[in-house]
Amino acid sequence: MKIYSDDVFKCQYCGAPNKAITWDTETFRSCRSRIEKREFQHLNNSIAIEKDNDTYYKCPRCKKWSKGSQLVVVKARIEEVKHIKRDSIIEISNKL
């Protein structure tokens, strides 16, 4: 599944919708070691949100950590949603 820059990720705890870049910034800021920084994966990389991947992301609002696959993806474009192994759901937005 391709992630576009206008796709939004919602936190599973507080439901706050934020763009991938905002999640990336918040998460990267919390990477303490050089190893963590090297292993960091951008959320707009589709691998980051697959079930088998165990990368965690920090919510820009409530600061809780979720696995990439647990974030709710709000897709701005319906044609790109294909079969993908996920823990959570994919929403389609037609107002973005």
Cα torsion through 37, 54, 82, 76, rounded to 10: -50
Write the CB contacts of 29 (distance below 8 Å, at least 6 apart in sequence).
none
Report residue 20: phi and psi, to 5°.
Answer: -55, -40
**Site for Zn ion (CB under 5 A): which residue of 3, 8, 43, 59?**
59
The stretch among 5-13, 17-25, 28-36, 78-86 that binds Zn ion (CB under 5 A) is: 5-13
| Residue 15 structure tokens | 């439901």
The stretch among 27-35, 42-50, 52-60, 84-92 that binds Zn ion (CB under 5 A) is: 52-60
Pairing between strand 65-67 and 56-58?
Answer: antiparallel
The stretch among 18-26, 45-53, 54-62, 80-88 that binds Zn ion (CB under 5 A) is: 54-62
**Site for Zn ion (CB under 5 A): which residue of 2, 14, 30, 84?**
14
**Site for Zn ion (CB under 5 A): which residue of 11, 20, 48, 49?**
11
Establish if 56 lies at the interface with Zn ion (CB under 5 A).
Answer: no
